[in-house]
């Protein structure tokens, strides 16, 4: 995505307010200025580490003296922490915007701590989902005011956390509840992962890709185990209306966000939603061994691994079609993890100790080499297409 000055420059040129030579001079000046102001990694590391240590030190100092403070002093301290960081961010914004970003991030993090500490000070009986909602609203307001990728990342994390908390608190503990939760979070992770399209360079979208990439694999492997047989699952079941509402939210919210981020290309996210919900029917531990016969055995014991392998191949193809290396790499990783998990669950226990270890070594050595070779070929093909 072009920078704001580039879009304004194009608009002025199209309106004949400036000529081509002037536009080229402005473009060269701004590019040179942005290159000179770009931070190098030691500065970024110093700012990030310093902000983390500053926040941790203040919180530890407050925690050490918390018991000796009166309720009034506690609440005043909470308010001061939230306000002080944002004031420091406002004061440093004109001189060093990256430092201001760190201060505002600490202010938003302190807001969450302040909300829950205030609830503890005044012995509020409100559920923890209400506190997360207030925290998410604060982060969203910070995003609207600052247009800051850190505030947007807070919002992207806290919004789903509030939905998760609301669902867990409102719905009885049951297998269907966990399955709907796992499927909704997995589809949201795919939406975040697909936020970048070909040459999209927004820092916010890159942070969404990191969130989606780090959370996708564990969420995918959670889905086939979500309806595991445990005590509460035998006594509580969700009514049809609650299940329908949960699945509607789990599907429509991530797809609406995908349409906002990707436009007409969000139809691929709809295919990903279908893949996720089919995977949710392949529960591994819901049936007894005597029930696992024929097609039922294939569907519940072999199906999840075949379906995950197909999903990994689809993720690789998706990355190649939109020139996104992270999807190719994640697809290759998912394919390797699928083979490894299948070996552990269905093959290793049928072999002797030495044979199972030999097979395990062969999978890691030979399989890892083959997957890395395939990954390099795919990345080379992607680079050739983009150049």
pLDDT digits (tens, 9 = 90+) for 195-215: 887 666 677 888 899 899 999
The pLDDT value recorded for residue 78 is 80
- Per-residue pLDDT reduced to its tens digit, 16-73: 777 888 878 787 776 665 544 454 545 556 666 666 676 667 667 666 766 777 778 8
Both tokens of residue 143? 């995003």
- Per-residue pLDDT reduced to its tens digit, 153-180: 889 999 999 999 899 888 887 778 888 9
The pLDDT value recorded for residue 231 is 47
CA dist 227 and 176 (Å) reads 6
- Per-residue pLDDT reduced to its tens digit, 64-76: 766 777 778 878 8
- Per-residue pLDDT reduced to its tens digit, 275-331: 999 998 887 765 555 555 656 667 777 888 889 999 999 999 998 888 888 888 899
Q: Which of 173-182, 255-264, 342-351 has the lowest average pLDDT? A: 342-351
Helix axes 175-193, 325-342, angle to 10 degrees: 150
CA dist 255 and 92 (Å) reads 38
Question: Domain residue spans in the chain?
Answer: 1-35, 49-170
Q: How many residues does the chain have?
A: 387
Both tokens of residue 237? 């079941």
Whole-structure pTM value: 0.78
């Amino acid at each position: 995505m072009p920078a704001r000055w580039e879009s304004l420059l194009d608009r002025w040129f199209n309106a004949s307010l400036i000529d081509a030579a002037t536009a080229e001079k402005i473009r060269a000046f701004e590019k040179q200025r942005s290159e000179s102001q770009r931070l190098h990694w030691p500065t970024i590391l110093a700012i990030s580490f310093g902000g983390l240590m500053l926040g941790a030190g203040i919180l530890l100092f407050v925690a050490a003296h918390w018991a000796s403070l009166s309720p009034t002093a506690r609440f005043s301290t909470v308010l001061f922490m939230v306000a002080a960081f944002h004031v420091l961010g406002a004061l440093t914004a004109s001189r060093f915007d990256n430092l201001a970003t760190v201060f505002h991030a600490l202010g938003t993090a302190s807001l969450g701590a302040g909300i829950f500490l205030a609830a503890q000070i005044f012995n509020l009986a409100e559920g923890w989902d209400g506190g997360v909602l207030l925290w998410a609203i604060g982060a969203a307001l910070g995003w609207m005011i600052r247009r800051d990728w850190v505030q947007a990342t807070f919002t992207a994390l806290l919004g789903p956390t509030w939905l998760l908390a609301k669902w867990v608190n409102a719905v009885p503990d049951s297998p269907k509840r966990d399955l709907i939760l796992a499927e909704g979070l997995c589809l949201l992770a795919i939406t975040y992962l697909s936020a970048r399209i070909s040459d999209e360079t927004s820092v916010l979208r890159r942070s969404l890709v990191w969130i989606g990439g780090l959370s996708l694999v564990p969420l995918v492997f959670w889905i086939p185990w979500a309806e595991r047989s445990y005590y509460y699952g035998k006594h509580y079941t969700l009514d049809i209306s609650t299940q329908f509402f949960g699945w509607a939210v789990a599907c429509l919210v991530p797809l609406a966000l995908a349409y906002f981020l990707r436009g007409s290309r969000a139809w691929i996210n709809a295919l990903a939603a279908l893949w996720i919900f089919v995977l949710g029917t392949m529960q591994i531990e819901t049936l007894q061994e005597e029930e696992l016969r024929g097609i039922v055995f294939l569907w519940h014991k072999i199906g999840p691994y075949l379906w995950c392998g197909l999903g990994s191949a689809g993720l690789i193809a998706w990355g190649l079609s939109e020139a996104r290396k992270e999807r190719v790499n994640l697809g290759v990783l998912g394919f390797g993890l699928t083979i490894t998990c299948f070996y552990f669950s269905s093959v290793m226990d049928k072999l002797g100790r030495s044979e199972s270890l030999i097979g395990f070594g062969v999978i890691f050595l030979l399989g890892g080499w083959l997957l890395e070779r395939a990954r390099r070929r795919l990345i080379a093909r992607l680079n050739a297409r983009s150049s």
